[in-house]
DNA sequence: GATGAATGAGGATTCATTCAT
DNA sequence: GATGAATGAATCCTCATTCAT
């Protein structure tokens, strides 16, 4: 009945290099397992085994099994926002379409790197009870997109920017993830990027000429 | 020790009315539970209890726990395709936009009816290993959309219709589901329908005038 | 951090005879183990093993490990109060001293029957946090003694009956328990009964002649 | 796998002042924790943390976790016997009742100082297997009481002094400890002292006039 | 002397599934 | 056909203790 407490923080801030290595080993092991198994089969002892440490050690660094996933999620979130920043900054000469394609392309790159993780992130996100959703991952992601749209100053046809950010996030994420997992025949990576760029741009931009 | 494989068929095709009632009670109970719990907490004994039957009886009608979900999925799939048919048939006078909006609207209706089920359908769909995907739900759904597009003879700007059906399905489904679960402030049902209709239409149609 | 919820009620009220037998087997097994091990080594799997059932079965009847102890405690409490009733009722001709000796004697009998259980009951009672003590075993026991004193209408020299009941309960219980566990040389059962009877009587009664 | 046997001796007799300070820090930390947690939650790492040392250091001074409790017990035992000595020596003019009350009062003082420790001492004392009881705490305490009675030359109505010492020790200790943990309404410290003094005196003394 | 990272055995609990009644 | 008691493998997590630095 008692709900497991998620924690954002590792038990001990890994200060020493050995610790750091152990934490990384655990996170990497988890990612590797997630490519083959779903979260519920990603057991702590399996993670520990793959990481080459004991369960005890795992629990020295993570409050509980969930905390490992949280850490991974945080890392991915940071990668994505950093990426958005970079595109924003470097986006001098190119057209809007090129910038958009770049974002989509690089985002897909993030997904391709660890498909299993992203699958589980979606699955577990869907699992969360409404009450816990307040600071959930996708809300933060949507805020980030919202901010990005504002800063990028896109001449949009949308009036409800909250709704737009929401729809874009869900659409792009779901498409990329399913593509990754299903690898549907006849749709290769570049096609997907093109379709999504077009989807987003035509939805968003006042009129593309 | 070996995990039982999913089965599409109920143990016994329910022929008699009492059987039919029992099967329905089980399916309905499952739906009701899924609105509050995730699939892994939807235990067989809980289902049996809510359905007012014994576990033994449950296993008389379903090979295993998974088979219940399969049955539910099948039912939803049929509802959705039937709905598409109806729109196609009845779609005489209205504009494309109105037809599209109607589809989106009625689809959302299906989701609203049993949010928990759809959440779990997505989650469990994502869980499935690639090998099992062949007859997976979304592949069938995408085929249906593909067929619908062909039959409806939409004057599209898309060249890769497979990709288009894929992107549309994923986008609409993910948006609807997340909307249902998060009920994001500032986006009510009609807004969502409008946004999704616009997203799909502008993505799909050659030029809307 | 979350405190385990003690439960007074078995998961399923054992209605059928097979169930009843299973529950009894579990309780008896627990008692037998408690004579040799302390509570923390009285593991669920050990209990199940000794009872000749599976762990699963054990959990069918008891919410958790604690609930088994609660059930046992309840049973002992009832035995003790029943015994007090009997002495009260049957206590016609005999002197006060004889009645008192009878109570002490029969109480010791209860302890002798399952020393391990009583040891653990004391130990675990001491473990309980103040907040949980409200309905704790000894408070109930003390109330029972208080009531007994009132009903028996003992001509007492005590003015604070709450204090008297408290002191008597703690003294008698601790002495009996330690005697049982230590079996101190030179103090056999009848001696103990005599000493405790005298302790209580001289403490309690106005003047014994 | 084999459980380490208890040891009465610290690993190193603390000779230097720094060592002494460390040992004290560990003992004090333990006492502080015991006021809030039971012995099984009084983990070595928690003790070390509260004491401001590392676990490694803790094990430099104590063979194992049990040894810490042993040391604490020893310290309390010495305090109690010292106290008895003092009362014996200083007991010139006062009446027997006053001397007795003084003993009870000062003993209660010891309990009040570290209730958690005394609770655990009782609990763990009860835990010990009969075989280990030979040199157990309460046997020593009872001997001390026995000796005290002999030396104090109380004109007692008791014939079995072993039994008397036993009963008195158990009664007083249990009453004090439970009083401390339960703080029962309507029984404050002075009341308890009075009741226990009376209990013991009337039990012990030939006739009080 | 001190540190604290690593160990791993051990224990409570859950739940899909079976089968005797 | 229905029942529900029984099963037991599987999983998360804790903590005393060690030992390389």
Contact B126 A123 (CB under 8 A): yes
Domain boundaries, chain C: 69-204
- C-chain residues near D119 (CB < 8 A): 126
What is the Cα D55 distance to its own chain's centre?
A: 27
Helix, strand, coil percentages in chain C from 3-state DSSP, rounded to 5 = 75, 0, 25
Virtual CA dihedral for A182, A185, A189, A192, nearest 10 degrees?
-90
Fold of D68-204: Tetracycline Repressor; domain 2 (1.10.357)
In words, the CATH class of domain A72-204 is mainly alpha
Distance CA B54, CA B31 (A): 17
Confidence of residue B128 (pLDDT cuts 50, 70, 90): low
Q: What phi, psi does B205 have (nearest 5°)? A: -80, 140
Beta carbon of C158 within 7 Å of strand E?
no
Pick the residue from chain C with its C-alpha nearest to D189: C163
Q: Please report, in angstroms and rounded to a whole number, the separation of the first and last CA atoms in chain C.
A: 57
In words, the CATH class of domain D17-61 is mainly alpha
Q: Which of the nucleotides in strand F have any atom less than 7 Å away from a protein CB atom?
A: 1-20
Position D137 scores a pLDDT of 76
Q: pLDDT tens for chain A, 209 residues: list them.
A: 333 334 333 455 545 566 788 999 999 999 999 998 888 899 999 999 999 999 999 999 999 999 999 999 999 999 999 998 888 887 666 678 888 999 999 999 999 999 999 999 988 888 765 555 445 678 888 888 888 888 877 788 899 999 999 999 999 999 999 999 888 988 999 999 999 999 999 999 877 45
List C-alpha distances in Å: D152 to A20, D90, D99: 67, 12, 10
pLDDT digits (tens, 9 = 90+) for C137-185: 788 888 888 888 888 777 888 999 999 999 999 999 999 999 998 888 8
Confidence of residue B12 (pLDDT cuts 50, 70, 90): low
Position B124 scores a pLDDT of 85
Give the least confident one: B10-14, C45-49, C90-94.
B10-14
Which ranges in C63-160 belong to alpha helices (H)?
65-90, 96-113, 115-127, 137-152
Position D128 scores a pLDDT of 60
Give the right CATH number for B70-204 from 3.40.50.2000, 1.10.357.10, 3.40.50.970, 3.40.50.1390: 1.10.357.10
Distance CA D164, CA D148 (A): 12
To which residue do tokens 């919820």 refer? C5
pLDDT digits (tens, 9 = 90+) for B24-67: 999 999 999 999 888 888 999 999 999 999 999 999 999 999 99
Distance CA C123, CA C108 (A): 18
Contact C173 D173 (CB under 8 A): no
- Mutant choice from C41, C184, C186, C204 vs D, greatest count of D C-beta within 10 A: C184
Decide if pLDDT at C193 tops 50.
yes
pLDDT digits (tens, 9 = 90+) for D115-159: 999 999 888 888 765 555 445 677 888 888 888 888 877 788 899
Q: How far is the CA of D26 from the C1' of F9 (A)?
A: 43
Residues 62-91 of chain B within 7 A of strand E, judged by CB, are: 64-66
Q: Which residues pair with C205 in a beta bridge?
A: C156
Q: By C-alpha distance, which of C41, C124, C119, C135 is closest to D38?
A: C124
Classify domain C69-204 by CATH architecture.
Orthogonal Bundle (1.10)
CA–CA–CA angle C10, C16, C21 (5° rounding): 70
Residues 114-153 of chain A within 7 A of strand F, judged by CB, are: none
pLDDT digits (tens, 9 = 90+) for C124-141: 888 765 555 445 678 888
Q: What phi, psi does C58 have (nearest 5°)? A: -55, -45
Residues 143-162 of chain B within 7 A of strand F, judged by CB, are: none
Q: Which of C119, C163, C179 sits opposite D126 (nearest CB)?
A: C119
Give the least confident one: B73-77, B89-93, D121-125, D170-174.
B89-93
Q: Which two tokens stand for residue A156?
A: 């949009």
Position D18 scores a pLDDT of 73
Q: Please report, in angstroms and rounded to a whole number, the separation of the first and last CA atoms in chain B.
A: 62
pLDDT digits (tens, 9 = 90+) for C49-88: 999 999 999 999 999 999 999 999 999 999 998 998 888 8
- Region label for A54, one of left (φ > 0), alpha (ψ between -120 and 50) or beta (otherwise): beta
pLDDT digits (tens, 9 = 90+) for D5-44: 344 444 555 556 678 899 999 999 999 999 988 888 899 9
Beta carbon of D22 within 7 Å of strand E?
yes
3-state secondary structure at position B5: coil
Contact A177 B138 (CB under 8 A): no
């Amino acid at each position: 009945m008692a709900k497991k407490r998620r924690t954002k923080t590792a038990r001990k801030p890994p200060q020493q290099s050995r610790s750091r290595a152990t934490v990384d080993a655990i996170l990497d092991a988890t990612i590797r397992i997630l490519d083959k198994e779903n979260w519920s089969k990603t057991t702590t002892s399996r993670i520990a085994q793959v990481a080459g440490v004991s369960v005890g050690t795992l629990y020295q660094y993570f409050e509980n099994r969930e905390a490992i996933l949280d850490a991974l999620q945080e890392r991915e979130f940071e990668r994505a926002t950093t990426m958005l920043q970079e595109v924003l900054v470097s986006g001098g000469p190119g057209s809007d379409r090129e910038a958009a394609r770049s974002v989509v392309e690089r985002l897909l790159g993030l997904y391709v790197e660890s498909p299993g993780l992203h699958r589980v992130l979606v699955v577990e996100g869907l699992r969360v009870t409404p009450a816990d959703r307040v600071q959930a991952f996708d809300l933060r992601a949507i805020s980030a997109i919202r901010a990005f749209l504002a800063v990028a100053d896109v001449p949009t046809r949308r009036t409800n920017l909250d709704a737009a950010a929401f729809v874009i996030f869900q659409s792009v994420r779901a498409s990329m993830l399913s593509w990754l997992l299903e690898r549907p025949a006849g749709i290769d990576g570049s096609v997907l990027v093109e379709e999504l760029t077009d989807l987003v741009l035509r939805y968003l931009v006042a009129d593309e000429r």
